[in-house]
Amino acid sequence: DAFLTDRVGIAGNLPMVVLSLGQVAEILTMFLLGRVLIRLGWKVTMIYGVGSETPKSHRRLRLIPIETNRDLREVLQRLLRQKYHAVVHAMAVLDFEPVRVLRGKVASRNGEWEVRLRPAEKIINQIKRGAPQTTLVGFKLEAKGGALKRLLNRGRRLLKDSKADLV
């Protein structure tokens, strides 16, 4: 608790949103971080993708399952109306989303059909707009690797675009 308070400036008695969805490294990171923060006495809200691992139920843990980018946007808009000291965003959200969503079953007798996708808005870039006082921690996972300079530049770009405090 003293480490977070003294070195990062996050008081242990304030609630925090922890997001978890997607790739194994991100899920593991958020799973472990959620458990550590709970043990430190923090109130934690974890937004996670249906089917993802989550910490065991606890009185200081609120779990919110989501399935789509839209679900995440709606949940974050609602939650960020409350005061959260920090948001840790480590989600592998989809880069593209459907232009049109069909509800229900599509009959195969209708024949061939086309699915059109559009670039999805970067959800992390909306967090500081909705809650500028909140400390924002981003997570950048690069599966392809590459030169250290290129990887650092991608992390810096995330810092700038999202206005995150830490990546």
pLDDT tens, 106-146? 888 888 888 899 998 888 999 998 889 888 888 877 666 66
- In the chain, beta strands by DSSP E: 16-20, 44-49, 61-66, 86-89, 96-98, 117-119, 135-138
Query: Which of 12-26, 41-55, 63-77, 89-103 has the lowest average pLDDT?
Result: 12-26
Q: Do the beta carbons of residue 140 and residue 149 sit within 8 Å?
A: no
User: What dihedral do alpha carbons 17, 164, 162, 96 form, nearest 10°?
Assistant: -50
Over 60: is that where the pLDDT of 54 sits?
yes
